[in-house]
Structure 1
Amino acid sequence: MKPAYEHVDFGGDCSVRVYHRRLPRIPFEWHHHPEYELTLTMNSHGKRYIGDSVNEYEAEDLVLVPPDLPHTWASNRSIDPSSPQVAIVIWFDGDWARRMADCCPEYEPLRKLLRRAACGLAFEPPAGKWMRERLEQLLSSVARERLGAALDIMCTLADAPGQPLASPSAFNEASTGPSGHEPERINRVLSMIDARFAEPLRLSELCAAASLSERTLTRYFVQHIGESVGRYITRVRIGHACRMLVDTSLPVAVIAARSGFANVANFNRQFRAAKQATPAEYRRQFAAAGSPDKDVEARLTERSPSLQRKRKSTGGRNDEEMAGQYRA
């Protein structure tokens, strides 16, 4: 299932795009775009698909998605059936955020936020509740007030507890390999892993690439990546396998071999440990969600943001009610 490309139009005189969406259900629309996306979902529960991560979500779910990582939410029922489901979306450009940090020391936390969001980031429930209290400013009719609220939210979230979502390199478009934020020696190791993850990789080879001892490389990896070398390689391999499970109909045994696993039994064991599902079950989760509508790619490309067009039911009522969209 190939993700559709979404064109997000900021306009010529705005820094961020704020979107207020209300609808009776959230359809499965697997898509990606080159902007960061911060989404607060309210009065909704269903499944959230971020890269190769599939999770249940509840009210006031707050997630930051990095550029070009395929994603979607899917929900058929509101928590309160008498009210619509709501999504508050902030789109912003990573280069813009880094320039803000360059110019204004007060916005230095933006760098940390971008680093933490490399694999997608799901914030803990208090963060969603806190952001909900800021909606009056964020949805203001005054552009400067919206921009100020968005910057304050992003800087505050830089230190808010949260959990990474996708595996490194879960999808090639969103590879979280060399980023420029880690020391150059670590980046060389990440480059080697990204290029050769399907091959047997010896720690001695990685050490030679980084000109480091095994002990030093191990310490650097935990310090800068947050996990061991072996665990990182496994996550890269699992991420690649997830992409193939979603995008192709290849047999599981072929996917295991092409992802760097010597045998299917080990692949199944490692995959279940990482995803709490077998490879076949994981593939079915995407298939069960349903492919996007026939014209989803056209709709996402023609409109900014997605689902901007109101669709009419046979009874003439709006299937989707748009509460507003803003540029700041």
Structure 2
Amino acid sequence: MKAAYEHVDFGHDCSIRVYHRRLRRIPFEWHHHPEFELTLTMNSQGKRYIGDSVASYGADDLVLVPPNLPHTWASNRSIDDAEPEVAIVIWFDGAWVRRLADVCPEYNGLCDLLRRAACGLAFEDGAGTRMREHIERLLSDKPRVRLQAALDVLDFLSELPATPLASPSGFDARTGTPTGHEPEQINRVLALIETQFSRPLRLSTLARASGLSERSLTRHFTQHLGESVGRYITRVRIGHACRMLTDTQTPISVIATRSGFPNVANFNRQFKASKNMTPLEFRQQFAGARSAEEESAARLTERSPSLQRLEKRRVKVEA
């Protein structure tokens, strides 16, 4: 299932876009866009899909999604059935945030936040409640007030722990590639892994590409990436497999080969260890969520006026 492209219209006088979405049920809408997205979901429970991450979510779920990473939420019930489900969505371009941090050291933490969000971040319990305190300003009719509120939210989030979500994978050509924040030797290794993950990758080959000894590469890689070289390669391969499982009907045996696994048994074993489900179950989750969304589409008429879906087979309905 290909992710639909969403166009976010900021308007000529705004550097962020805030959307107050209110629905009876949040539908499955697998999509991507080139902006960062911070979403606070309230009065809703269901499944959250961020890249290849599939997880349950509940009250005050707060997630930061990086550019071009496919994502969606799909609710199965409201916490208070008498009230609508609500999402407060903030879209912004990371380029101006990084420039702001360059000239204003008070915002240095924002660069680290965007770097940490390369695979998506789910913030700890309590972060969504803190963001609630800023909702009135985020929904102000004055662009400057909304901008300041968004900066305040991003600033306090930069100091909070959060859980990475998606694997570094083929969902976006830039996800999992060098960020410029790692030493150049590590960048060369990451680039090689990103382009050659479907082939056998020996530590000796990666060490030669980095110009480091195998021992030094292992130490520096763990220091900067937080995991071993082998674990990182496996996550890249599984991420690529997840993209093929959601975007295509390619047989699982072929996906295993194209993702760099020596055989289907090894692929199934490592996939289940990573995702707590088999590749077939993973594919069926997306197919099942899509079917449920199509059945309920007639009842879901609210759409963001700032999002224009470029998908011929769906009808766009403005809120």
Equivalent in the alignment of 2:254: 254
Q: Is the 8 A contact 1:66 1:174 kept in 2?
A: no
Equivalent in the alignment of 1:146: 146
Equivalent in the alignment of 1:162: 162
Q: Which stretches of structure 1, 4 residues or longer, exceed 6 Å deviation after superposition?
A: none
Q: Is the 8 A contact 1:21 1:321 kept in 2?
A: no
One-letter identity of the residue aligned with 1:265: A
Equivalent in the alignment of 2:77: 77
Please report how far the alpha carbon of residue 302 of structure 1 lies from its aligned counterpart in structure 2 after TM superposition. 10
Map 1:312-323 onto structure 2 (within 5 A).
none
Q: Is the 8 A contact 2:31 2:71 kept in 1?
A: yes
What's the CA shift string for 1:204-247, capped at 9, x where partnerless? Answer: 01000000011111111111111110000000000000011111
Equivalent in the alignment of 2:239: 239
One-letter identity of the residue aligned with 2:307: P
Other structure's SS at 1:88 match: strand
Equivalent in the alignment of 2:27: 27
Other structure's SS at 2:153 match: helix
In structure 1, C-alpha distance between the alignment counterparts of 2:228 and 2:308, rounded to whole Å? 39
In structure 1, C-alpha distance between the alignment counterparts of 2:17 and 2:81, rounded to whole Å? 29
Q: Is the 8 A contact 1:25 1:77 kept in 2?
A: yes
Other structure's SS at 2:69 match: coil
In structure 2, C-alpha distance between the alignment counterparts of 1:212 and 1:173, rounded to whole Å? 26
In structure 1, C-alpha distance between the alignment counterparts of 2:155 and 2:304, rounded to whole Å? 32
Equivalent in the alignment of 2:89: 89
One-letter identity of the residue aligned with 1:54: V
Q: Is the 8 A contact 1:7 1:303 kept in 2?
A: no
Equivalent in the alignment of 2:137: 137
1:306–1:27 CA distance, 2 compared to 1 (3 A): farther
One-letter identity of the residue aligned with 1:149: A
Equivalent in the alignment of 2:171: 171
Q: Is the 8 A contact 1:15 1:92 kept in 2?
A: yes
Equivalent in the alignment of 2:307: 305
Please report how far the alpha carbon of residue 116 of structure 1 lies from its aligned counterpart in structure 2 after TM superposition. 0.5
Please report how far the alpha carbon of residue 174 of structure 1 lies from its aligned counterpart in structure 2 after TM superposition. 4.6
Q: Is the 8 A contact 2:305 2:318 kept in 1?
A: no
**Higher relative contact order (CA closer than 8 Å, sequence separation 6+):** 1
Equivalent in the alignment of 1:316: none
Other structure's SS at 2:168 match: coil
The alignment's TM-score, normalised by the length of structure 1, stands at 0.89
Q: Is the 8 A contact 1:22 1:321 kept in 2?
A: no
In structure 1, C-alpha distance between the alignment counterparts of 2:305 and 2:210, rounded to whole Å? 46
Q: Is the 8 A contact 2:176 2:194 kept in 1?
A: no
Please report how far the alpha carbon of residue 284 of structure 1 lies from its aligned counterpart in structure 2 after TM superposition. 0.2
Other structure's SS at 2:208 match: helix
Q: Is the 8 A contact 2:63 2:120 kept in 1?
A: yes
Name the Cα RMSD after superposition: 2.2
Equivalent in the alignment of 2:314: none
In structure 1, C-alpha distance between the alignment counterparts of 2:11 and 2:219, rounded to whole Å? 46
In structure 2, C-alpha distance between the alignment counterparts of 1:59 and 1:270, rounded to whole Å? 32
Answering whether residue 264 of structure 2 is matched by residue 264 of structure 1, we say: yes
One-letter identity of the residue aligned with 1:274: S
The alignment's TM-score, normalised by the length of structure 2, stands at 0.92
Q: Is the 8 A contact 2:238 2:271 kept in 1?
A: yes
Equivalent in the alignment of 2:313: none
**Identity level (%):** 68
Equivalent in the alignment of 1:312: none
Unaligned runs of 5+ in 2: 310-316
In structure 2, C-alpha distance between the alignment counterparts of 1:170 and 1:63, rounded to whole Å? 21
In structure 2, C-alpha distance between the alignment counterparts of 1:48 and 1:56, rounded to whole Å? 6
Q: Is the 8 A contact 1:170 1:238 kept in 2?
A: no
- My pick for the range that moved more, 141-150 or 241-250, is 141-150
Map 1:147-296 onto structure 2 (within 5 A).
147-290=147-290
In structure 2, C-alpha distance between the alignment counterparts of 1:100 and 1:169, rounded to whole Å? 29
